[in-house]
Chain A
């Protein structure tokens, strides 16, 4: 018996996503309220239409809660590091320091929202780039709405080869890639993610000041994107694990040099839609601050240093990877024969190399350093913890329920019906939709890696069946998975949490969805032409 793929089951399978999007984008609900409804629809569909038994649903809910715990372990410390920095009033020092780096306001936004976000994605994923960068952008005067939207756009291209290429490695494993096919798939993955990177740079300039912004920032965008995307493309032929980390790091050096050379003159678009001009300036600008830029940035330097040291030094990584926490799950089968295989150790959390540990450590270092500089009050820790828990509450429940929704949909065969149904209808035009399958996976799971795990072998099977170029189709899968990070509610939620505008996720998604879909469509056209 097989899961029936009919129009009815396809509509039933997509209904949780449609309901979630409608609540977020049309009715402008927050994710914390929309996620339970999406989960409820997925549970009802999974039980009634896709014949998932109650123990199966219980298992998928348990997997979802486990995944939520792993993400929460990043969200809470990400909020903590922000609250520590905020309590020390370090963002003002940061803002003034950035003006010394370059008096070109657009370059400052590109530096933090695109280049630094890409660098963070290069070293650690799990939504850290968005959660960290959003408040930094607020610190330099970006409106909170855009402080979330900009890093969501800016970091997405780096999700395939970033975080030491975990998403890419997942694709290699799922599709059993090797030899020439592996290298040519890397080329196509590099091309599609380069398109996302270039779009990010141009889009940020456009959002800043329309045509004038693009004109002002074009040279920087072309140079940085050539390094990011072009450099990644070339290096991926030699070392896929480090190619993104190297170019993202080099991007920081390049933009610093641009700030001292081509963009050394002051520039500010007064009517910028991106910037908050309402706060007063003037005499307060000259008042001395207790911290310099580098002192204010210490928690983030610590985060970067610790992450690089642990993840890039193999003996250290190996030594700290001894403690893995995870549970086995049994095989479950739906009434239609859709099998969830048994897993010996489901989604193990490697405790001492988890991003949450690095963030917590960086927060503690920052707190004690700021205390030594006498910029913390005596009751600062109490205030920091209270505000952290207050902000983390809605994000935690939302993330857990969203991931649970994606697990229930996956475990009852709904996601498979969506993908296969789309493939059957599209036929020879399948390549056009291949990136959208990757987008779907990342939208559901907020992870390029998880999208590749879900659909990597499926996409390869479709390429074989339809006689399409597998390198192009698989490249489109992971490219789509990167683009999907722009559209996914979980990522946006991390940003709205740390930027202090919880509940506005729908508004932001309304802005980002057309952009993401347009890039995916362009990649689809390219995939169709070359497959």
Chain B
């Protein structure tokens, strides 16, 4: 866990939005609850990653 960098977590967050994009896009047409839910979930996850990354940055400074 100590080798995970803050930037890795943020890159995971960005990647989550890229993965969410086709799901969100398709849900505007076929309205599938599953794709909509997955897409929204990934966006919500990406919104949390900056705060997770912040924790890793502060852990790094504490050590």
A is bound by B: yes
A54 with B28, Cβ < 8 A, contacts A390-B7, A396-B10 known: no
| Nearest chain A CB to B59 CB, angstrom units | 16
The CA-CA distance from A57 to B31 in the complex, in Å, is: 12
Does A33 lie within 8 Å of B40, measured CB to CB?
no
A61 with B39, Cβ < 8 A, contacts A33-B50, A332-B28, A400-B17 known: yes
Does B7 lie within 8 Å of A61, measured CB to CB?
no
Does A65 lie within 8 Å of B21, measured CB to CB?
yes
The CA-CA distance from A396 to B43 in the complex, in Å, is: 14
| Nearest chain B CB to A187 CB, angstrom units | 42
A58 with B39, Cβ < 8 A, contacts A33-B54, A36-B50 known: yes
Q: Which secondary structure dominates where chain A touches chain B?
A: helix
Does A58 lie within 8 Å of B40, measured CB to CB?
yes
The CA-CA distance from A58 to B17 in the complex, in Å, is: 12
A residues less than 8 Å from B20 (CB atoms): 61, 65
Bin chain A's interface residue count.
Answer: 35 or more
A residues less than 8 Å from B28 (CB atoms): 55-56, 58-59, 62, 329-330, 332
Report the nearest A residue to B40, measured CB to CB: A58
Report the nearest A residue to B30, measured CB to CB: A55
Does A36 lie within 8 Å of B48, measured CB to CB?
yes
Chain A CB count within 10 A is highest, among B17, B20, B40, for: B17
The CA-CA distance from A329 to B21 in the complex, in Å, is: 13
Interface residues in B5-37 by Cβ distance below 8 A to A read 5-8, 10-11, 13-14, 17-18, 20-21, 24-25, 27-29, 31, 36
Asked whether any CB of chain B lies closer than 8 Å to the CB of A39, the reply is yes
| Nearest chain A CB to B35 CB, angstrom units | 9
Asked whether any CB of chain B lies closer than 8 Å to the CB of A440, the reply is no
Does A397 lie within 8 Å of B49, measured CB to CB?
yes
Chain B CB count within 10 A is highest, among A36, A39, A62, for: A62
Query: What 0/1 pattern do residues 8 to 48 of A give for CB contact below 8 A with B?
Result: 00000000000000000000001011011001100000000
Report the nearest A residue to B13, measured CB to CB: A397
A residues less than 8 Å from B29 (CB atoms): 330
Does A65 lie within 8 Å of B17, measured CB to CB?
yes
Does B17 lie within 8 Å of A397, measured CB to CB?
yes
Does A393 lie within 8 Å of B54, measured CB to CB?
no
Does A390 lie within 8 Å of B5, measured CB to CB?
yes
| Nearest chain B CB to A321 CB, angstrom units | 24
A residues less than 8 Å from B49 (CB atoms): 397
B residues less than 8 Å from A61 (CB atoms): 20, 24, 39-40, 43
What residues make up the interface of A, taking CB atoms closer than 8 Å to B? Answer: 30, 32-33, 35-36, 39-40, 54-59, 61-62, 65-66, 68-69, 72, 327, 329-330, 332, 389-391, 393-394, 396-398, 400-401, 404
Query: A58-B27, A58-B40, A393-B11 known; 10 other A-B pairs, CB under 8 Å?
Result: A36-B46, A55-B36, A61-B20, A61-B43, A62-B21, A393-B6, A393-B7, A393-B10, A394-B10, A397-B13
What residues make up the interface of B, taking CB atoms closer than 8 Å to A? Answer: 5-8, 10-11, 13-14, 17-18, 20-21, 24-25, 27-29, 31, 36, 39-40, 43, 46-51, 53-54
